[in-house]
Amino acid sequence: MICLPDKTNQYNLLKTSCSIKDKLGIAITIRAYRVGDFQRLMDMYDKFEPKRIAMGLPHSDKKLRDNWIDCIVKSFFNTIAIHQNKIIGHAAVDIFRNKSFPEYMIFLDQDFRNRGIGTSQTMIIKKICEEFGCKQIWVAITCHSILGIKVFKKSGFKFTGTIGPEREMVLKLKPKSKK
């Protein structure tokens, strides 16, 4: 993966922010990732379990994991979910390198799954991609990721391609602009 300079500020995406209540009524802030969040994001992934849950990600090897995180935050548009100043979720979409059909990924702390946070982050990313002029977004997912599949189906993603242990899901969008 080739890492590019962070273009988030160039496209004025740093204003992305909202507060939600999860299924337990707990306040969660979802906002654009900022450079100062890097260490807390690495901390989230260091504690993340199970490692290698999605196509071998996040890496179990710390050095590989840190390099992967560094590359994602520099190359993709990223949002984070925060509870009590702790990053508990990370979503990223590759709108800077592939605007028409960008890749999407999301990871949530194991203690915050199945609480509506992933769906909220996904809907925010969907809206950003539509505003950015994307036609569709795609995600790679393993068949055993039942919660992930649930989030993506709820958000409108549909399976595509052949059936196997790893699948691709696509969400068709209604682009609003051509930035």
Q: Is residue 156 part of a domain?
A: yes
pLDDT of residue 79: 95
Q: Is residue 5 part of a domain?
A: no
Q: Is the pLDDT reported for residue 135 higher than 70?
A: yes
Q: How far apart are CA 8 and CA 81, in angstroms?
A: 17
Q: Assess if residue 178 is contained within a domain.
A: no
For residue 62, the model assigns a pLDDT of 85
Residues contacting 25, CB < 8 A, separation 6+: none
Q: Where are the alpha helices (DSSP H) in the chain?
A: 38-47, 62-75, 117-132, 146-154
DSSP 57: B
Asked if the model's pLDDT at residue 32 lies above 80, the reply is yes
Amino acid at 18: C
Q: How far, in Å, CA of 157 to CA of 11, rounded?
A: 26
Domain containing residue 128: CATH number: 3.40.630.30
* Full domain range(s) for residue 109: 17-172
Token readout for 44 is 């989230």
Check: CB of residue 94 under 8 Å from CB of residue 78: no
How many domains does the chain divide into?
A: 1
pLDDT of 43 strictly over 80 = yes
For residue 8, pLDDT over 50 is answered with: no
Q: Give the pLDDT band (50/70/90) at residue 48.
A: confident
| Mean pLDDT (whole number) for 40-65 | 76
pLDDT band at 179 (very low <50, low <70, confident <90, very high): very low
- Across 2-16, 51-65, 70-84, the highest mean pLDDT is recorded for 70-84
Give the model confidence (pLDDT) of 92-104 as tens digits. Answer: 999 888 788 899 9
Q: What is the mean pLDDT of residues 72-84?
A: 94
Q: In this structure, are residues 170 and 138 in contact, taking their beta carbons and an 8 Å threshold?
A: yes
**In a domain? residue 87:** yes
Q: What is the mean pLDDT of the chain?
A: 84
Q: What is the predicted pLDDT for the residue at 121?
A: 92
In a domain, 8, yes or no: no
Does the pLDDT of residue 124 top 80, yes or no? yes
- What is the rounded distance in angstroms from the CA atom of residue 77 to the CA atom of residue 79? 7
Model-level pTM?
0.85
12 within some domain: no
- Residue 1 pLDDT: 30
**Is 31 contained in some domain?**
yes
